Structure 1
Amino acid sequence: MRLFKLLFFILCVSLQACVAQSDKINGVSFVAANAEVYETHVKPIIDVKANYAAIMPFGFIRDLKHPNIVYNTHRQWFGETAEGARQYVGELRKKNIKIMLKPQIWVWHGEFTGFIEMNNEADWTTLEASYSKFILEYAQLAEELKVEIFCIGTELERFIKHRPEYWHQLVLEIRKMYKGKLTYAANWDEFKRTPFWGAMDFIGIDAYFHVSANKTPTVEECLQGWNPHVEVIKKLSSEVGRPILFTEFGYRSVDFTGREPWKSDRNMGAVNLEAQANATKALFKTFWKEDWFSGGFVWKWFINHANSGGANDTRFTPQNKPTEAVIKYYFKSS
């Protein structure tokens, strides 16, 4: 009888561990395109063992001082619109891929959204009304489609800093119409100051932290580089009582990829597939085993897999590079 009880206890613990592992969010950031998606576009996501995809419709602002957001126009790519988001979600759901709907703002000429800042009260009020219309329409879509996670904004630090009460009220409005889990995608150097984490279900971080200044960092060097960041991230998670979600993570396949991972300049230098793979492996080894860490979304994954990435590509995508195998290994193991 004692032996039976012992074996039963071990079995229960093992099953609990399996359940905990299967709850990890193994996501890809599914880039909006000017076309519908079908099973052939979704299959590579299944093959890499992802269980989540971030769908990212876009709104556009003319410049950092302009208060009006334009979205759902005929000039946008299909995948950047609500209609495209609906179609993408429907196709992904056929293969049991869960969804984070993550509407984003694009400032013309690619200026950083964290610097959006109005000059006067009238423009701030206009921006608030425009952003509310934009994000609440997508919150309604998120509820209609029953997506698992809704991201209420991405890298909007100055907007939040100057208008914190607006954001607190916005969360309440979103909660009235959307019943799933909420997060906000804070930039890697912003998340410590975001004032409403207690109202979120996840602390969302776009995880472009400096981890190494070397041309081709080793996995061990990147692991060491993560140490100071991990302490800060873990402490915040404990203080707020919310798990961490990397709303974006990834590295470019270039020299010095761990030095300033947030940079996307096209003239960053030579292809370095090893650097990208090593930095990615270190990130997984650092975080995926932690119970206070919920998972994350690889930046970024294009719908036309066969024609994306590859041995001569310097961009973020891991597709058709050694890093794709790294991601598959850790997604499969978690």
Structure 2
Amino acid sequence: MKTYKLLFLLLIFIQLSCNSQQKKINGLSFVASRDKIDTTHTNSVLRAQSNYVALMPFGFIRDLSSPEVQHNTSRQWFGETRSGLLQYANEFQKNDVKIMVKPQIWIGHGQFTGRIEMDSEEKWAVLEKSYSDFILGYAKSAQEINASLLCIGTELESFVMNRPEYWSHLIKEIKKVYKGKLTYAANWDEYKRVPFWDEMDFIGVDAYFPLSDKKSPTVEELEVGWKLHKEEIKSVQKKYNKPVLFTEFGYRSVDYTGKEPWDANRVEGNVNLQAQVNGLQAIHNQFWKEDWFAGGFVWKWFHRHDKVGGVNDNRFTPQNKPAELVLRKLYQQK
């Protein structure tokens, strides 16, 4: 009888261990497009062994000093609107792919969202009203589609740090209309200062940490580069006792990809497919086996898989590159 009990307990332990691994978020950041999508476009996500996608409707601000967020307009691409979010989500949910709704802001001329800061109380009031309309509208949409996750903002450091009372109130309003899990996508150099992690379900980090100054660092060299960053991430995780989610992570297939991984503006640079592979392998080695780590979303994945990426492309997408095969292998691991 004791033998049976021991076997039974062992089976439960194995099952729990498997379930823990299966709960990792193996996500892709699915880029909004002009088009509706169908199985032609979702199949590449399934082949990548992804169990989550981040769907990213957009709001637009004219410049850093402009307080109004324009969103859900006829001038936007279909995938950037509420209708696009609902249609995309429906197609992915047919295949049991879970959804993170991640509304994002684009500022004219590609200016950095982390520097949004108003120069008067009147402008702050307009921005706050406008942003609330934007995010609460998509919180309602997230509830409608039964999204597993809602990201309440992406890389908005100056806005967050200057207006903490607004954000605390906004989170309360979001929770009235959306009942799923919440996160915020803090930039890699911002996450330690976010004041509302205790109100989130996940500590969200856009994980573009500088790792190596070398032209083509090895996996081992990149893992050494992670050492200090990982310790700092763990200290924040312990402080709030919340799992860490990489709301974005990824590497360009270019020389020096580990030096300033956030730099999407440089078009020039020699294609370096192995550097991208090494970056993905190193980040997976360092984080995916940690109990406190929830997973992450690769930046980025386009709907027309046959038309993007490839061995002559030095941008972020792993599509049609060796990195796609590596990602598939990593996401398959239990």
- Summarize deviations over 1:146-180 as a string: whole Å, max 9, x none: 10000000000000111010000000000011000
Number of aligned residues: 334
Distance, in Å, in 2 between the alignment partners of 1:34 and 1:181 is 29
In the TM superposition, residue 2 of structure 1 has moved relative to its aligned partner by 3.2
Counterparts of residues 121-132 of structure 1 (less than 5 Å)? 121-132=121-132
Please list, as runs of the form range in 1=range in 2, the aligned pairs for 1:56-71 lying within 5 A after superposition.
Answer: 56-71=56-71
Q: Corresponding residue for 2:9?
A: 9
d(CA) in 2 for partners of 1:93, 1:191: 31
Q: 1:176 is matched with which residue?
A: 176
Aligned counterparts of 1:108 and 1:253: Cα–Cα separation in 2? 27
Partner of 1:312: 312
Give the TM-score taking structure 2 as reference length: 0.99
SS at match of 1:142: helix
Cα separation, 2, equivalents of 1:137 and 1:265 = 31
1:43-192 correspondence to structure 2 within 5 Å = 43-192=43-192
User: What is the CA–CA distance in structure 1 between the aligned matches of 2:152 and 2:202, rounded to whole Å?
Assistant: 11
Gaps of 5+ in 2: none
Following the alignment from structure 1 to structure 2, what is the Cα–Cα distance between the partners of residues 182 and 268? 37
Supply the distance in 2 between the matched residues of 1:292 and 1:121 (Cα, whole angstroms): 40
Tell me the residue number matched to 1:294.
294
Q: Residues 214 and 56 of structure 1: is their aligned pair in 2 closer, same or farther, counting only changes over 3 Å?
A: same
The residue number in structure 2 matching 1:265 is 265
Partner of 2:248: 248
Identity of aligned residues (%): 56
- SS of the residue corresponding to residue 261 of structure 1 reads coil
Structure 1 position 267, deviation (Å): 3.2
Q: Distance in 1 between matches of 2:249 and 2:273?
A: 16
| C-alpha deviation, 1:43, in angstroms | 0.7
C-alpha separation between the residues in 1 aligned to 2:275 and 2:88?
32
Map of 1:193 onto structure 2: 193
Aligned to 1:214: 214
Q: Distance in 1 between matches of 2:324 and 2:41?
A: 16
Cα offset, 1:35, TM superposition: 0.2
- Alpha-carbon offset, residue 74 of structure 1: 1.1
Runs of 4+ in 1 over 6 A off after TM superposition: none
TM-score (norm 1): 0.99
Deviations 1:13-54 (A, max 9, x none): 111111111111010000000000001100111111000000
Q: Could you tell me which amino acid in structure 2 is paired with residue 186 of structure 1?
A: A
Letter of the 1:30 partner, please give it.
Answer: F
Matched, 1:333 2:330: no
Q: Which amino acid aligns with 2:15?
A: L
Give the aligned partner of residue 228 of structure 1: 228
Q: Cα RMSD (Å) of the superposition?
A: 0.8
Name the SS for the 2:36 alignment partner: coil
Unaligned runs of 5+ in 1: none
Following TM superposition, by how much is the alpha carbon of 1:4 offset from its aligned partner in structure 2, in angstroms? 2.4
Report the Cα distance in structure 1 between the residues aligned to 2:7 and 2:214, rounded to whole angstroms.
Answer: 49
Cα distance in structure 2, aligned partners of 1:8 and 1:218: 44
Shift of 1:8: 2.0
Which residue number in structure 1 is paired with residue 30 of structure 2?
Answer: 30
Deviation at 1:326, TM superposition (A): 1.4
